[in-house]
């Protein structure tokens, strides 16, 4: 037998094993977000720079709706993921159900410096988006709808309408249409909100279920006005469609970072979270996509130019015009009951 | 007196059975691992959550929205089946009565859309049916209508797209059955003085019944579980049972609530197959013989 062969093979094997254990030794985490252009923007702005700075490997995964997977992974006792970027409500709900690790903010100084409304015991705001009133400038060249009361006013603003097929943000919009001030929404008066929704229901052409669908409706002129996420509307506008939106009475929402209970790389995950909400990385995010930084300190860096800041949902002046969503209310029993009531409302 | 000498042919047969069993065992294992176990787990979850509970079923059978969804799902499935039969029968008939080359062409046109994803076809229907879609634009150009018709984002749009997707499941079993009807029978009918329509209705149609039943069962059952077309073209109001399954995972934070819906749907499908099997051998439905 050829000796060199055996030695070579042996070395190769040892090398491979060494490589595997080296990768094990070098710190790594699995980070999960929602995919698409959004995850790519993060990779450029936050993930790659963080990995480089911390000297860790960030394995990425993506899933549109992380909640069922969080439940299954933690339920199985051996989660694969470490950090998820998911709507803040899931982090809170997960925290209450023992699916999400409690965060030690002494190890996350960047988050500790953020306003209290931007974090919870289980999560840190990662980025902001807004559910805004968007409309076609073809249908409304001037005298455009500027508030949810206008959206509900089918006589003054005739046209086809769409809302999201989900109670979150939609109930808030209904209450604002009924005259509730954006900063006095919580706890939501659910009965009043559904009553107001019954009023507009016959005039809703489509109850959309995905962001892509909402963009398509606006782009194709299928509806004249709708509630949509700001990033979706600006993307459609950038492609040349005559559409725009107002931040007035928008509902400011966020996704947050949180860690799965029993995550395989807990310590590195905590380090990563601190790095990910670093003002500088955060300031880079809106240069790549139309979402606002989760850490408001990002606006104090000189990275975001004032013209760009003015377009972002979490820019202080824009934020002041909007209602800040209370995820704590939505994950409370009344919030969950409101969510269950939605199905009955839709099918009536 | 009978002797107990083993019959060599019997022994041979037993060996053959053993061999067959060995040959099918990989397939059986796959079915066991990928279908029987998950479905069993699904059913188990629907009744077990921190102890035995019928809460999930209580909800399905007492809350209005479930009844509405099941009723709507059966209505849509029925409509889709009837329309698919009315559209599919003439196609199968034509494919059966033209020369072989033409019938291959017709059948490949029927099967061709199979190679396109359901999602793409649903979006294609959106492009055709929506307010600014081809059909509305054309009708407005002809001045037939002044306001665009609501062709999509409702039950109508859902039914149209679902029929399109399920049509092959109607045409193929119909064609297969028609192929087996001997042409002599029609000639015999004609020679006895029956008009062409009479031979069709008295001879051909009854003989094609098994194909109709097979096609209808396939289309109906497949339609019961449809998800993409109502989700994309139903406008949010057309909530079919499959959508309840996904919604329940979100709403109740546990799979049991969704499993119960799935189990009820599965049982309805089994019930339908059972009823159909009283009239026609299931081999014909599934094997399309």
Question: pLDDT of B186-240, one tens digit each?
Answer: 889 889 988 989 999 999 999 999 899 999 999 999 999 999 999 999 998 899 9
CB-based contact, B14 to chain A, within 8 Å: no
What number of helices (H) and strands (E) belong to chain B? 15, 0
What's residue B49's pLDDT? 82
Give the residue ranges of chain B where pLDDT is below 50.
1, 288-289
CB-based contact, B68 to chain A, within 8 Å: yes
Using the beta-carbon criterion (under 8 Å), do B236 and A160 form an inter-chain contact?
no
Please state, in angstroms and as integers, the Cα–Cα distance from residue A251 to each residue in A132, A155, A158, following that order: 7, 25, 23
Q: Over its length of 348 residues, how does chain A's per-residue pLDDT go in tens digits?
A: 444 554 444 444 444 444 444 445 579 999 999 988 889 999 999 999 999 999 999 999 999 889 889 988 998 899 999 999 999 999 999 999 999 999 999 999 999 989 888 999 999 999 999 999 999 999 999 899 999 999 999 999 999 999 999 999 999 999 999 999 999 999 999 999 999 999 999 999 999 988 889 999 999 999 999 999 999 999 999 999 999 999 999 999 999 999 999 999 999 999 999 999 999 999 999 999 999 999 999 999 989 999 999 999 999 999 999 999 999 999 899 998 999 899 889 887
CA B253 – CA B231 distance, rounded (Å): 21
Check: complex ipTM more than 0.90: no
B225 phi and psi, to 5 degrees?
A: -100, 15
Nearest Cβ partner for B239 among A220, A339, A346? A346
What's residue B59's pLDDT? 87
Nearest Cβ partner for A67 among B68, B244, B250? B250
Nearest-by-CA chain B residue for A160: B131
Nearest-by-CA chain B residue for A163: B236
Give the tens place of pLDDT for each residue, B234-271: 998 899 999 988 888 777 767 888 999 999 999 999 99
Nearest-by-CA chain B residue for A210: B232
Kindly tell me the burial class for residue B249, based on how many C-beta atoms sit within 10 Å of its own C-beta (0-12, 13-18, 19 or more). Answer: buried
CA A120 – CA A116 distance, rounded (Å): 8
CA B81 – CA B87 distance, rounded (Å): 10
What's residue B287's pLDDT? 56
Nearest Cβ partner for A220 among B132, B235, B237? B132
CA A249 – CA A245 distance, rounded (Å): 11
Contact call for residues A274 and A107 (beta carbons, < 8 A) = yes
Query: B131 contacts in A (CB within 8 Å)?
Result: 160, 220-222
CA A185 – CA A170 distance, rounded (Å): 12
């Amino acid at each position: 037998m050829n000796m060199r062969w055996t030695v070579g093979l042996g070395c190769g094997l040892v090398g491979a094993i060494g490589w595997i254990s080296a990768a094990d030794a070098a710190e790594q985490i699995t980070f999960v977000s929602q995919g698409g252009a959004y995850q790519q923007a993060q990779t450029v702005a936050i993930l790659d720079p963080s990995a480089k700075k911390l000297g860790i490997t960030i394995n990425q995964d993506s899933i549109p709706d992380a909640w069922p997977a969080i439940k299954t992974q933690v339920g199985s006792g051996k989660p694969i993921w470490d950090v998820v970027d998911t709507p803040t409500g899931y982090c809170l709900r997960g925290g209450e159900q023992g699916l999400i690790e409690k965060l030690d903010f002494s190890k996350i100084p960047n988050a500790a410096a953020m306003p209290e409304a931007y974090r919870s015991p289980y999560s840190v705001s990662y980025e902001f988006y807004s559910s805004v009133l968007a409309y076609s400038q073809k249908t409304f060249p001037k005298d455009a709808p500027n508030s949810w009361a206008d959206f509900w006013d089918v006589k003054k603003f005739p046209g086809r309408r769409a809302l999201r097929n989900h109670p979150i943000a939609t109930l808030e919009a209904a209450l604002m249409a009924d005259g509730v001030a954006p900063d006095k929404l919580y706890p939501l008066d659910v009965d009043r909100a559904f009553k107001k929704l019954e009023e507009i229901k016959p005039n809703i052409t489509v109850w959309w279920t995905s962001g892509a669908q909402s963009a398509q409706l606006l782009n194709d002129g299928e509806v004249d006005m709708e509630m949509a996420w700001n990033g979706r509307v600006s993307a459609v506008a950038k492609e040349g469609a005559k559409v725009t939106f107002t931040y007035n009475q928008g509902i400011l929402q966020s996704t947050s970072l949180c860690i799965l209970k029993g995550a395989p790389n807990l310590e590195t995950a905590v380090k990563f979270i601190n790095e990910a909400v670093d003002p500088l990385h955060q300031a880079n995010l809106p240069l790549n996509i139309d979402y606002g930084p989760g850490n408001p300190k990002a606006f104090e860096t000189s990275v975001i130019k004032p013209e760009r800041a003015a377009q972002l949902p979490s820019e202080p002046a824009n934020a002041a015009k909007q209602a800040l969503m209370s995820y704590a209310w939505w994950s409370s029993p009344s919030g969950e009951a409101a969510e269950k009531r939605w199905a009955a409302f839709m099918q009536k | 007196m009978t002797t107990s000498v083993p019959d060599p042919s019997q022994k041979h047969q037993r060996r053959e059975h053993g061999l067959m069993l060995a040959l099918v065992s990989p397939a059986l294992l796959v079915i066991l691992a990928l279908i029987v176990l998950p479905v069993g787990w699904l059913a188990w979850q629907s009744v077990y959550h921190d102890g035995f509970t019928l809460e999930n079923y209580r909800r399905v059978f007492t809350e209005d929205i479930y009844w509405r969804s099941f009723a709507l799902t059966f209505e849509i499935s029925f409509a889709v089946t009837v329309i698919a039969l009315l559209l599919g029968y003439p196609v199968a008939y034509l494919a059966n009565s033209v020369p072989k080359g033409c019938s291959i062409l017709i059948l490949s046109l029927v099967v061709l859309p199979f190679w396109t994803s359901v999602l793409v076809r649903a979006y294609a229907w959106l492009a055709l049916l929506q307010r600014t879609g081809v059909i509305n634009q054309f009708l407005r150009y002809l001045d037939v209508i002044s306001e665009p018709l609501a062709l999509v984002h409702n039950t109508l749009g859902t039914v149209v797209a679902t029929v399109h997707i399920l049509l092959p499941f109607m045409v193929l079993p119909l064609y297969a059955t028609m192929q087996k009807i001997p042409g002599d029978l029609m000639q015999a009918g004609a020679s006895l003085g029956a008009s062409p329509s009479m031979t069709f209705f008295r001879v051909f149609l009854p003989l094609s019944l098994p194909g109709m039943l097979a096609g209808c069962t396939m289309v109906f059952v497949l339609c019961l579980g449809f998800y993409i077309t109502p989700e994309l073209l139903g406008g949010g109001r057309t909530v079919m049972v499959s959508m309840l399954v996904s919604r329940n995972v979100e709403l109740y934070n546990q799979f049991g609530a969704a499993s119960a819906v799935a189990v009820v749907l599965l049982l309805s499908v089994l019930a339908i197959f059972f009823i159909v099997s009283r009239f026609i051998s299931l081999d014909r439905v599934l094997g399309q013989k």
